[in-house]
Structure 1
């Protein structure tokens, strides 16, 4: 099926657990698409926080996934495995992958790929899958955000945050965001947030209470953890939903659960990478139906902060860990 393609490829290896400098280009065997898989010649690959945690040795690849980091790609289908019906050689896709994205070629289950939206570059398309899958499943499925409700996203200037702001706004919610600088707050407002709270200067609990007439917010998306866990409970409205997707400040907290009972709160959370093929396929279908039309018409668009050549993946990780970026960081091939 792929005999005309090179037998080897360049991929980024994690030479040992550690800092960004442990990411090194290596020549490895090119993967072959298995049953139900397509092989994509990668043109761009998104960089995500889980990649940096994997690099440190704290987030191993799930069983069967490549050791090469990278959870989202965009490029051209160059070979198809047995049983594939959704894609043909030559079509251009972006895709959610369990690993292996930082490479010249990557295999992906056919049901986890989506068409590159109209007018999108490969760089923009590579910024979509991990982020949009994560936001959709957590904000709209677990958090059940509806039009007319209030929504608070922490880390509003991150890849997840910039996506969550746009989608929540487009679907009719009142959106608030926290961010760590005046520039980042301005970016959040530009993307559709009604208010952006500089967490270095303001108490987000007090601010959202002011913004909502002391009611609190219906849905909170949090990747900070630590002391934010208890503060989110304070900031939540009656019947509020708090969704946890990461713990930049730690996953252990001492919490008074009485407000959770009195407000009838839902505390939930999820991870995306270990989910089954079927669960990810279901997410891809709902995104194609509900979100891809918004991308095709330009109503929602990823914000790209910086791009780096594949060989400079270590520089991309350095930038991500400085947390100075606004939007997505993407590797180009």
Structure 2
């Protein structure tokens, strides 16, 4: 049996994607065959395609961490799922394909009120935000959180989660429409221009009190600014390095510059300032993966059902090579407000223009 997949055969710009028929085996005893209806596109996918991501299989392979679809068949030892069930799945790669074989342990129910596009837009961004805020960051009501890239996928999820849990949220975003959305629609108290020098604006807003939690997906100089803004007992959570990714193609020089701009942090400097620095990689939780992610996603979906949270989906691009190229270019250009998805089911929020 074969299926259609969008593959990385060589590193390069978005146009390096190819689309081919690939073999698809039968599900093993603890696996299911899932017909994919929508796949979330994440910034890590761009880094994979550009050759800046280390934990990947040999090429050719298909990127894609999260998919929504319908179960076609189940393995002999699968008892909790049936043919026809609509589910989301978290996987390490392979999601840019019309069919996937996944372990049943990686499946999650999603609310019937959601479309596959909305369902696929939720797991990675909301779980990343959840782990950053509550598992690593130990966020508490009344604290102040700084969220860089607040108009992006993880950013819009993090703002919603933080506000819902009683935190005062300050964000950064790249254009006026994104900044307005973060404050007016998501509830942040302020959102400053990520393209400028936002550190003095944040400092003026929070005063000597400082920032309790900073979520940093940017790296480079932004990391140093976040650390300077931390209050005593503040926590800096690093979960990305978008500063290393250019608008269209791999650039080792840009990646090296972003890496070198990261501040050196000596452990004793943290002791003196009473601050902490954490790193979060959602797919490297090891034995804690099920323990952390399943109850978190269950709570996230319950909150979505109660309309306390919502998926911020910018648009869905066609589920083929052409759509994947366009989606990656859209993210490279930082045009997205919220999440971008590949699907044959059209969904378009609005065009925000280039930032």
TM-score, length of structure 1 as denominator length? 0.91
Q: 2:193 aligns with which of 198, 201, 209?
A: 198
| Aligned-partner Cα distance in 2 for 1:148–1:85 | 44
Is the 1:118–1:297 Cα contact (8 Å) retained in structure 2? no
Paired with 1:60 and 1:50, the residues of 2 have a C-alpha distance of: 11
Q: After superposition, what is the alpha-carbon deviation per residue over 1:81-115, rounded to whole angstroms, capped at 9, x for unaligned?
A: 24223322211111211111111111222222211
User: In structure 1, which of residues 285, 295, 302 is the aligned counterpart of residue 304 of structure 2?
Assistant: 295
Could you say which residue in structure 2 is the equivalent of 1:268? 278
Q: Is the 8 A contact 1:10 1:103 kept in 2?
A: yes
Tell me, yes or no, if the aligned pair for 2:174 and 2:195 is still in contact at 8 Å.
yes
Residue by residue over 1:64-95, the C-alpha shift from the partner in whole angstroms, topping out at 9 and shown as x without a partner, is: 99921111100111112242233222111112
Q: Distance in 1 between matches of 2:93 and 2:59?
A: 6
Unpaired runs of at least 5, structure 2: 244-257, 345-355
How has the CA–CA distance of structure 1 residues 218 and 35 changed in structure 2, closer, same or farther, with 3 Å as cutoff?
farther
Q: Cα–Cα, structure 1 residues 18 and 152, in superposed 2: closer, same or farther, change >3 Å?
A: same
What is the CA–CA distance in structure 1 between the aligned matches of 2:289 and 2:228, rounded to whole Å? Answer: 33
Q: For the residues of structure 2 that align with 1:279 and 1:138, how far apart are their CA atoms?
A: 15
Query: C-alpha root-mean-square deviation of aligned residues, in Å?
Result: 2.0
Q: Is the 8 A contact 2:123 2:297 kept in 1?
A: no
Match of 2:338 among 315, 327, 330: 327
* Structure 1: unaligned runs, 5 residues or longer: 1-6
Query: Against the structure 1 CA distance between its residues 161 and 87, is the aligned structure 2 distance closer, same or farther, given a 3 Å change threshold?
Result: same
Match of residue 137, structure 1, among 131, 135, 139: 131
Residue 184 of structure 1 is matched in structure 2 by: 178
How many aligned positions are there? Answer: 325
CA distance in 2, matches of 1:153, 1:221: 5
Alignment of 1:61-80 (within 5 A): 61-62=55-56, 67-80=61-74
Match of 1:94 in 2: 88
TM-score under structure 2 length normalisation:
0.86
* Residues 116-147 of structure 1: CA deviation (Å, up to 9, x unaligned): 22411000000011112211112210111112
Q: Counterpart in 1 of 2:252?
A: none
Q: Distance in 1 between matches of 2:97 and 2:288?
A: 25
